[in-house]
Chains A and B, each alone.
Chain A
Amino acid sequence: MRLEKCWFCSSTIYPGHGIQFVRNDAKIFRFCRSKCHKNFKMKRNPRKVKWTKAYRRLHGKDMTQDSTFEFERKRNRPERYDRNVTENVLKAIKKISKVRHAREEEHHRQRMKGNKVMKLKEDAKELEQSIHLVGPLVKKDDMKKEKIIPLREDHRMEE
């Protein structure tokens, strides 16, 4: 049993899933689902389609270089069954995936680091530029009678 990778989106293809297309030069294209197959038939480049792994890797969205990826590799030589080795492998799989998840989270955090400051800056700029949209509303309301309600409205606009 071998878990193949989808040609288009690079997701894992489990046995019994998807379709494979064999070109006349014997190159095999495997697809995980009809979505990927259809995109291939439309001659789309996976590097230009935003939801594929290829795009995300190319644009620095995902972690690309890491020692945890080294374990998952295509090997053409079948391994002779050994109970101890299997046990150790099963233990290692859990550990490795844990490490990988942690590293991926760290990568995501690093990538999103400047976002909050940028968002605040943008909001402040928008408030400054489009304050005139809020201004007349506040002026028209007679502030003396009801002080609370216009203030609330004002806040909502700013957000």
Chain B
Amino acid sequence: MRTNLKVVDNSGAKRVMCIQALKGKKGARLGDMIVASVKEAQAGGKVKKGQVVYGVVVRAAMQRGRCDGSEVKFDDNAVVLVNKQGEPIGTRVFGPVPHELRKKKHVKILSLAEHIA
């Protein structure tokens, strides 16, 4: 809740604020879906400032356990905007994303991503 996240796709939003984590009481973790409000947006983008959007957390500074017991963490908190069904709004994804997204059925984001960590 109230976390400012960087938007790393070309949907037009620059910064969103988390207003609801769709899973878990402790807030969203890497790979979780969130509901967010657009705080900063480029003019002429697909989403406007003030709009309520869905997103997938693709990078988190908090470490997350991997299935083999090791952990992974990233530089910043970043999100890719999606629609309610989980399909990305933008057509590109910038920066590294974790391969755990495949387990969460976000294969489209993985295929758009530049680097997979």
Q: Verify A28–B68 contact, CB threshold 8 A.
A: no
Task: Choose one: B69, B96, B98; the contact of A17 (CB below 8 Å).
Answer: B69
Mark each residue of chain A from 18 to 60: 1 if its CB lies under 8 Å from any CB of chain B, else 0: 1111111010100000000000000000000000000000000
Q: Verify A19–B69 contact, CB threshold 8 A.
A: no
Q: Verify A15–B70 contact, CB threshold 8 A.
A: yes
How many chain A residues touch B (CB < 8 A): the figure is: 13
Most chain A Cβ neighbours within 10 Å, of B59, B68, B98? B68
For B75, the chain A residues whose CB sits under 8 A away are 21-24
For B69, the chain A residues whose CB sits under 8 A away are 15-17
Chain B residues numbered 85-117 whose CB sits less than 8 Å from any CB in chain A: 95-96, 98, 114-115, 117
Q: Closest approach, in angstroms, between the C-beta of A26 and any C-beta of chain B?
A: 4
Which residue of chain B has its CB nearest to the CB of A19? Answer: B71
For B117, the chain A residues whose CB sits under 8 A away are 20, 22, 26, 28
Q: Closest approach, in angstroms, between the C-beta of B102 and any C-beta of chain A?
A: 16
Q: Verify B115–A26 contact, CB threshold 8 A.
A: yes
Task: Choose one: B63, B68, B73, B114; the contact of A16 (CB below 8 Å).
Answer: B68
Which residue of chain A has its CB nearest to the CB of B96? Answer: A26
Q: Verify A19–B70 contact, CB threshold 8 A.
A: yes
Task: Choose one: B73, B98, B114; the contact of A21 (CB below 8 Å).
Answer: B73
A28 and B75 alpha carbons, distance in the complex (Å): 11
Which residue of chain A has its CB nearest to the CB of B75? Answer: A24
For A19, the chain B residues whose CB sits under 8 A away are 63, 70-73
Most chain B Cβ neighbours within 10 Å, of A13, A17, A20, A28? A20
Q: Which residues of B contact A (CB under 8 A)?
A: 59, 63, 68-76, 95-96, 98, 114-115, 117
Q: Which residues of A contact B (CB under 8 A)?
A: 13, 15-24, 26, 28
